[in-house]
């Protein structure tokens, strides 16, 4: 009888600790930062683009941000863009396109005003989401 009561108390204690830890994790989560616009230059990353898009979506989800994705669509990257389109459709999101990188974004680096630039034209060692 004592063993059964001890087991019940132990289960209640572990459940209370789990609820407490989940609450702590929820309250320590970063505040929602609003909205982010992302400009992606894919450059024939067929083998890697799905992982890059997934990690980008997870990062923004964790930070509590919604986002729009604009892709610089060049003819030689048709297969990469098709993969991006399918992924965004599965998530119920629209994709917008630009024929070329705007000149003001080309020279400023990773961030420019409201845009976050992800340029995958560099070599595989340097490319990625920062």
Q: Look up the domain containing 76 and give its range.
A: 34-119
| Domain co-membership, 2 together with 48 | no
> Is residue 100, in this structure, part of any structural domain at all?
yes
DSSP string, the chain: -HHHHHHHHHHHHHHHHHHHHHHHHHHHSPPP-EEEEEEEE--S-TTTHHHHHHHHHHHHHHTTEEEEEEEE--GGGHHHHHHHHHHHHHTT--EEEESS--HHHHTT-SEETTEEEEE--S-TTT-S--
Report yes or no on 96 lying in a domain: yes
Q: Are residues 60 and 86 in the same domain?
A: yes
The total domain count for the chain is: 2
Walking along the chain (130 residues) 10 residues at a time, the average pLDDT comes out as 93 95 73 75 84 86 81 78 87 81 63 72 50
Strand partners, 112: 115
Inside any domain, residue 124: no
Q: Does the predicted model carry a pTM greater than 0.75? A: no
């Amino acid at each position: 009888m004592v063993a059964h009561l001890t087991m019940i108390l132990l289960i209640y204690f572990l459940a209370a600790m789990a609820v407490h830890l989940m609450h702590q994790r929820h309250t320590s989560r970063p505040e929602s930062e609003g909205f982010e616009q992302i400009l992606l230059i894919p450059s024939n990353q067929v083998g890697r683009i799905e992982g890059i898009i997934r990690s980008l979506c997870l990062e923004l989800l964790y930070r509590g941000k919604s986002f729009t994705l604009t892709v610089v669509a060049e003819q030689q990257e048709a297969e990469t863009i098709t993969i991006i389109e399918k992924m965004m459709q599965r998530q119920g999101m629209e994709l917008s396109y630009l024929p070329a990188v705007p000149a003001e974004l080309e020279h400023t680096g990773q961030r420019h005003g409201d845009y976050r630039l992800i340029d995958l034209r560099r070599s595989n060692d340097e490319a990625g989401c920062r």
